[in-house]
Copies of this chain bind each other. A is one copy, B any other.
Amino acid sequence: MKFRIDNLQYCNWSRQIFEINREAKLDAVHVTIVYHEDYDELVLEIKKWEKLFEENSDLILSGKNFKDIDKAQRENKTAIFFGFQNCSPIEDDIDLVEKVHELGCRFMQLTYNNQSLLATGCYEKIDSGVTNFGRETIKEMNRVGIVVDMSHSAEKSTFDAIEISEKPIAITHANPSFWHPAKRNKSNDLLKTLSQSGGMLGLSLYPHHLKNNTDCTLQSFCEMTARTAEIMNVKSIGIGSDLCLEQPDSVVEWMRNGTWSKSKNYGEGSKNRPGFPKQPGWFKDARGFENLEKGLMKIGFSEDETNGILGNNWFNFYKNI
């Protein structure tokens, strides 16, 4: 088998981007469909997606489980799996976990950058870990089949989630902090525990998570991947590019500020560089997977390992949970 999976994109979706993902031979993409939307707003987003599936049925299909990835490959399409970057669509209601699963949700972050009702985000001063409601929610996510995603969460909350969850969790889009100490990147200890628990890390190509940001080299990225494979089982490593193609800067402002602040927070950016950062030349979009393949082979990964990182590991993760 040889699957290509990008386990996190948040693009301003259009036929053109679906075509790029096909050119990149992506069999599956985990797509962020909402950040801070509540349940009703989620339903509106899903209606938009129903239209996208209808209008682009030659390029994409709706993914519900691993079999749809297989199906997509056979039909030369990309399976789209829905995910949330914040838990706001379940509001304060445990029963909505099952409802969002029915609507197609397969990944949900317990927090974005701030404190949520479930756990603490990486931008809070103090991390109190998974809350009472968080424990209940993880149990329910396990039951219905939604993956706990801790990409934007604080460290203790992530350790808690690994311990509480009866199924492996994921960090769909982040990098190790040994390489680039961004707030969102993860410690060696955490990555080791994640790997030992059967969880997955999706390496991010978002410039704020890369050493030297936009100027990060392919070689540096692949070296980081090799060092990460010394900390984690190589089978626990995949890609979650965090590509935000064609999004206007107003979107990143909303991602960072939601509706909870009167003052402006620049998150990983700054006042002088408030918008989306520019992608590195070797990963302008998903067609960069080809460069990653060459780079990973060059750094010494076997073909099997490379195929694992570029898709098969995520496929197995989908299959096992």
Contact = CB atoms under 8 A, between A and B. Distances in A.
A50 B263 CA distance: 35
Copies in the complex: 2
A186 to B, nearest CB: 20
Interface in A238-273: 258-263
B128 A114 contact: no
A163 interface: no
Contacts of A117: 114-117, 260
Contacts of A137: 260
B124 A92 contact: no
Nearest to A114: B132
Interface string A108-139: 00000011110010011111110111101101
The size class of the interface chain A forms with chain B is 20 to 34
Contact of A259 (B95, B114, B126): B95
Contact of A133 (B115, B129, B134): B115
Name, among A123, A124, A137, A140, the residue most crowded by chain B CB atoms within 10 Å (CB to CB).
A124
Contacts of A139: 262
Contacts of A88: 92
30 contacts: A88-B92, A92-B258, A92-B259, A92-B260, A94-B259, A94-B260, A94-B262, A95-B259, A114-B117, A114-B132, A115-B115, A115-B117, A115-B128, A115-B131, A115-B132, A117-B260, A120-B128, A123-B132, A124-B128, A124-B132, A125-B129, A127-B128, A128-B128, A132-B260, A133-B260, A136-B261, A136-B262, A137-B260, A139-B262, A140-B262
